[in-house]
Amino acid sequence: MPVSQSGQPPLLRLRGLYSPRLSPVSLDLATGECAAVMGPSGAGKSLLLRQVADLDPGSGEVELNGLARSAMKGFEWRRQVMYCQAEAGWWEDRVAPHFADRAKAAAVMARLGLAEDKLDALVNELSTGERQRLGLVRALALAPRVLLLDEPTAALDQAATGRVEEELRRYLDTGAAILMVTHSEEQARRLARRAWRMEQGRLEPLWT
């Protein structure tokens, strides 16, 4: 297991995390690191992310900075280890109420190529790609320590994908980590230092 050079605990450590449809997974993510999970649809990639975020019942332990998940409340954990659904859900009709800090949201949106007036739009007026980016903005605005991204650029064109990846690098530089599911080998190569392949609930190393 890779241990960060300073001897500190890894930012995120999975220790034998499993559920009925997921074989035990152990892995470490260092500060500033991005790792990718690839594999066919239905292999359990999203299940792994949901398992890390503690959104589904399962077994095993996860640690953030050496602090055990089981010692925190569920929502405290999810506040720091944040899962971004592939198709984000919205709980208000308009976009703005989903953001606590409008100025902060607008700043990230500008970098992702979204005009600020999108905040005043209705959620169902937006395109899939806009909703996907806004879902990411929503999470980034809360500044979690770890982001669990489920195909963050699936609905985006090349230009928008580039902007998102740039924003993710910027986020990594703040001392965070990303575990992402992607179908794009190129994207994994551009962002991640390591990659795994998920096949029928089993995680196999792909490259480092």
Partner 1 sequence: MDVIKLQALDLAVASLLVVLSAGISFALRLNMQRQVLWAAARTVVQLLLVGHILRIVFAHAAPWLTALVVAVMMALAAREVASRPKARLVGRGNGWVGATAVAATTIITVLFILNTALRPDPWYDPRYTIALIGIVLGSVLNAASLALDGMLSGVRREKLAIEARLALGAPARLAFSSLLRESVRRGIVPSINQMSAAGIITLPGIMTGQIIAGMDPIDAAKYQILLMFLLCGASGMAAIGAAYGAMRRLTDERGRLRLDKLMP
By the criterion CB under 8 A, which residues form the site for partner 1? 53-57, 73-76, 78-80, 82-85, 87-92, 135, 138-139, 142, 144
Q: Give me 8's structure tokens.
A: 């500190």
**Residue 98 and residue 21: Cα distance in Å, rounded?**
32
Side chain identity at residue 167, one-letter code: E
Q: How far is the CB of 80 from partner 1 (least distance, A)?
A: 7
Q: How far is the CB of 41 from partner 1 (least distance, A)?
A: 19
- Cα angle: 203, vertex 161, 171; to 5 degrees: 75
Q: How far is the CB of 207 from partner 1 (least distance, A)?
A: 29
Closest to partner 1 by CB, 38 or 53: 53
DSSP 47: H
**Residue 32 and residue 49: Cα distance in Å, rounded?**
18
Closest to partner 1 by CB, 43 or 148: 148
Q: How far is the CB of 84 from partner 1 (least distance, A)?
A: 7
Q: Give me 131's structure tokens.
A: 């909703």
Closest to partner 1 by CB, 141 or 195: 141
